[in-house]
């Protein structure tokens, strides 16, 4: 199993969602567990986000990177904003 690491941005969003939308927070927790078990099954991204992968948590997108035995969770944004270069 992989280890998890979280960027400051990801943790900030996680904290905000836990307070405001518990249903989305619970779906995100489940998706993180799924990603941790098999991160390479998720779609790799292209362009400026090359090296990252993504998973959907309706209508949001989790962007993460696999670095050795660690999955680094980079961002959790609405689908409309997820693929901009500022990840």
Residues 6+ apart with CB under 8 A from 42: 35, 53, 54, 55, 64
Question: What's the rounded mean pLDDT across residues 20-40?
Answer: 97
* Helix, strand, coil fractions of the chain, as percent rounded to 5: 45, 35, 20
pLDDT > 90 fraction of the chain, expressed in percent and rounded: 85
Q: What angle do CA 48, 62, 15 make, to 5 degrees?
A: 120
Of 7-16, 62-71, 78-87, give the lowest mean pLDDT range: 78-87
Report pLDDT digits (tens) over 2-15: 999 999 999 999 99
Locate the domains of the chain by residue range: 3-82
Alpha-carbon span 51 to 23, nearest angstrom: 29
> Is-above-0.85 flag for pTM?
yes
- For domain 3-82, the CATH class is alpha beta
């Amino acid at each position: 199993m992989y280890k998890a690491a979280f960027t400051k941005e990801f943790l900030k969003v996680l904290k905000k969602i836990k307070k405001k939308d518990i249903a989305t927070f619970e779906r995100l927790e489940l998706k993180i567990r799924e990603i941790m078990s098999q991160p390479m099954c998720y779609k790799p991204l292209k362009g400026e986000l090359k090296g990252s992968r993504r998973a959907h948590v309706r209508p949001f997108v989790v962007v993460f990177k696999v670095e050795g035995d660690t999955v680094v969770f980079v961002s959790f944004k609405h689908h409309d904003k997820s693929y901009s270069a500022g990840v």
